[in-house]
Structure 1
Amino acid sequence: MNQDSDSDSDHRPISDSDHRPIADEFVAANQAFAVEFPDAKLQVEPTRHVAVVACMDSRMDMFQLLGLGHGEAHVIRNAGGVITDDVIRSLCISQRFLKTREIVLVHHTNCGLEQVNEDDFRADLVDEIGVAPVWVLEAFTDPHASVRQSMQRLHLSPFVRHKDHIRGFVYCVTTGLLEEVHPAR
């Protein structure tokens, strides 16, 4: 990782004196939301029978950008939107118990994982806390290649039952548009 003081400060924990918890705001917003709770009768199975795997980036409102309503899809998010063992676990449950049949992947431009070197990150963690993570960061430099790799992982996984309708996209954070990524041939 870059050792410049500016970039190094971006990765330091926020001190307790600098941090203002917002959980109380969430509770207040929830109280207002619950007054006219519109979703009490939604069924547990997503009505569109689709699972979306996307990056956790806060610039992407997955329901809005895909035109989805509550109860229409499972949305599984992680850093990078990459296919990990835990995503496979969630998709296995989604398909086998909750009737999803389609998987849509959404990665995006200007992803934070494009800025991180995997080896440097692991070394920094070992230096800081004395332990290397058992998980892989899954950093990448090309979101299109990352989508292709994720699609391939889905096709190769024995735990993903329904593989006929897997599509991948890169969302442009500056235009709001999706660009389809086709699997490698």
Structure 2
Amino acid sequence: MATSNTDELFRNNQQYASGEPVHMPGYPGKQPIQPSRRVAVVACMDARLDVEDLLGLQTGEAHIIRNAGGVVTEDAIRCLIISHHLLNTNEIILIHHTRCGMLAFTDDLLKAGLEGDAAAEKLLGQATGRTFVSTGKASSSPVAFHAFRGPIEPLDSPRDDKNMERLAWDVRRGISAIKNHPWLPASGPDAVTVRGFIYDVDTGELEEVSYPGPMGSIG
């Protein structure tokens, strides 16, 4: 079986985690608009993730789409459709990470805190270690914050089996959302592949998430 770009980038990560830099930060000169590796990455916005460094990507090789949690939202899907159909990418990589802030709240809790609920403000303050300041106002947007499914934990909690499971649930939901989207073909001559990983912010290593598998419980 031929080695994919995703396989090569995973090997780059092993070098990165061992202290060997792969990404070259210098300006590379004129580049074509299409990513040369035909890769699109959806990753969390966390400041501890430098996607180019941890994958050993060079300028011009991949599209990088980032948001809170690296969640496959409607906008991420929009970007992936454009990336694939107009700019010729055919491999998608999802990256979540340990100690993620999306494990520390629920959508309802954050909305209640923003609207002025004192109990929610207190819980959010305890979770984040900072004074949570309510706006005292309701809003129809964003419709969702996409907090990860499962019981909340303090912000920046070290990895354990439970939070790793929660992260894997969300990665699998993202893979499923892409694989089952009618405009992102999963088979045929124009098919895209999608694989998901969890990045350990304490070691620099990527760990692949198996798919299919459990995608979470509200209990």
Q: TM-score, length-normalised on structure 1?
A: 0.76
The answer to whether the 8 A contact 2:184-2:192 is kept is no
Instruction: Indicate the residue corresponding to 1:63 in structure 2.
Output: 52
1:168 is matched with 196
Aligned length: 149
Long gaps (5+) in structure 1:
1-36
Question: Greater share of helix residues, 1 or 2?
Answer: 1
User: Once superposed, which parts of structure 1, at least 4 consecutive aligned residues long, lie more than 3 Å away?
Assistant: 161-164
Indicate the residue corresponding to 2:41 in structure 1: 52
Q: Which amino acid aligns with 1:113?
A: M
**Greater shift in the superposed pair: 99-108 or 126-135:** 126-135
Across the aligned residues of Structure 1 and Structure 2, the Cα RMSD in angstroms comes to 1.6
Give unpaired runs (5+ residues) of structure 2: 1-25, 117-135, 151-165, 214-219
Native 8 Å contact 1:125 1:132 kept in 2: no
- Which residue identity does 2:42 align to in structure 1? V
How much has 1:133 moved relative to structure 2? 2.5
SS in 1 for 2:69: helix
Aligned partner of 1:121 among 68, 92, 110: 110
- Tell me, yes or no, if the aligned pair for 1:123 and 1:132 is still in contact at 8 Å: no
Q: Secondary structure at the match of 2:86?
A: helix
Distance 1:164 1:99 in 2: 10
Deviations 1:45-77 (A, max 9, x none): 000000000000010000010011000000000
Percent of aligned pairs with the same residue? 43
* Equivalent residue, structure 2, for 1:38: 27
Other-structure match for 2:66? 77
- Given that residues 45 and 66 in structure 2 are in contact (C-alpha distance below 8 angstroms), is that contact kept between their aligned partners in structure 1? yes
AA of the residue aligned to 2:137: I
Matched, 1:145 2:174: no
